[in-house]
């Protein structure tokens, strides 16, 4: 059989009432602590026994909880009352106007205006504020200048590195030009030697490929005027071995870099 429904009413027996109070008080305190931990809630619990003894729990300051409760209660009551709500907004607007006037007055005094009525102590305080502001401005200015100098230094280093790379590329191109000039000079010398070749009239076109060292390819064709026949590569090499100074007739010089 299930438990019967417990009737909630005052317990007449004082001993039973005290036992029940002790049990339920501990359970209530435990539940309040669990609620504060599990839900990150601000919890405050106050219990007075029938004998006037105080029991309390708060996960923060009980005083701050009570003050927050009173403030929230007053604001809620004012919001439900149109007249009180209007007064609340009027009070808020007056506070904001007062803050604005103070800020405007401070601004004028910082600019050196409306200094009448200020005591020596007030002027000293104003001077200290100005000096503090000036120090802050100088520190900010120095920091900006330092950052700009670092950025310029970094850009200068980058440009210097780029200049070095450009110089290296220019040197490489100059060296390539020197090598090309040497090859062209070699080509001209070869062409000049061909003019002294006694059998030059037998060669009309250059058609076989002969490779020179240093990645240089000489393309040419050799054709006999008497037979009008192309010479084979072996015949070209044989003729070249017979008279290397007078054999080569150059058509195209290719450099494979």
Token pair, residue 244, equals: 């290397």
Domain-located, residue 18: yes
Domain-located, residue 220: no
Domain-located, residue 135: no
3-class DSSP state for residue 253? strand
Average pLDDT over the chain reads 72
196 vs 48 pLDDT, higher one: 48
Q: DSSP H helical segments within the chain, as ranges? A: 14-39, 62-79, 82-110, 120-195, 233-242, 244-247
Distance (Å, whole) CA 20 – CA 6: 13
Largest interatomic CA distance in the chain: 149
Distance (Å, whole) CA 204 – CA 196: 16
How does residue 15 score in pLDDT terms, banded at 50, 70 and 90?
A: confident
Mean pLDDT for 226-249 is 50
Nearest CA-CA partner of 90 in 78, 76, 80: 78
Which domain CATH number covers 23? 3.40.1810.10
Reported pTM: 0.31
pLDDT at 102: 81
Domain-located, residue 43: yes
How does residue 2 score in pLDDT terms, banded at 50, 70 and 90?
A: low
Torsion angle of C-alpha atoms 190, 196, 201, 202, degrees rounded to 10: -70
| pLDDT per residue as tens digits for the range 162-185 | 888 999 998 898 888 887 777 666
What total of structural domains would you count in the chain?
1
Run of H or E including 56 = strand 54-58
Listed in sequence order, the residues at least 6 apart from 88 whose beta carbon sits closer than 8 Å to its beta carbon are: 75, 78, 79
> Would you say 39 and 65 are in contact if contact means Cβ atoms under 8 Å apart?
no
Domain-located, residue 210: no
Domain-located, residue 124: no
Listed in sequence order, the residues at least 6 apart from 250 whose beta carbon sits closer than 8 Å to its beta carbon are: 187, 190, 191, 206, 218, 220
Domain-located, residue 248: no
Domain-located, residue 214: no
Q: Give the range of the structural domain holding residue 56, as residue numbers without chain letter.
A: 14-61
């Amino acid at each position: 059989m299930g438990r019967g429904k417990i009737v909630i009413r005052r317990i007449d027996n004082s001993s039973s009432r005290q036992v029940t109070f002790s049990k339920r008080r501990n359970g209530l305190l435990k539940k309040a602590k669990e609620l504060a931990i599990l839900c990150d809630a601000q919890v405050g619990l106050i219990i007075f026994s029938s004998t006037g003894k105080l029991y309390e729990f708060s996960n923060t300051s009980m005083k701050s909880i009570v003050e927050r409760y009173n403030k929230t209660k007053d604001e809620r009551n004012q919001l439900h009352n149109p007249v009180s709500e209007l007064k609340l907004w009027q009070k808020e607007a007056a506070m904001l106007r007062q803050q604005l006037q103070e800020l405007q007055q401070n601004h004028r005094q910082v600019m050196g205006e409306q200094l009448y009525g200020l005591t020596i102590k007030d002027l000293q305080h104003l001077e200290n504020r100005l000096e503090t502001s000036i120090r802050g401005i100088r520190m900010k200015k120095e920091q900006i200048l330092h950052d700009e100098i670092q950025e310029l230094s970094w850009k200068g280093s980058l440009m210097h590195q780029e200049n070095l790379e450009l110089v290296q590329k220019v040197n490489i191109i100059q060296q390539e030009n020197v090598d090309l000039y040497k090859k062209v000079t070699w080509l001209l010398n070869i062409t000049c030697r061909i003019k002294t070749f006694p059998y030059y009239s037998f060669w009309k076109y250059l058609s076989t490929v002969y490779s020179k060292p240093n990645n240089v390819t000489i393309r040419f064709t050799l054709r006999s005027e008497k037979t009008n026949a192309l010479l084979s590569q072996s015949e070209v090499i044989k003729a070249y071995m017979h008279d290397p100074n007078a054999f080569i007739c150059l058509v195209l010089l290719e450099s494979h870099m």
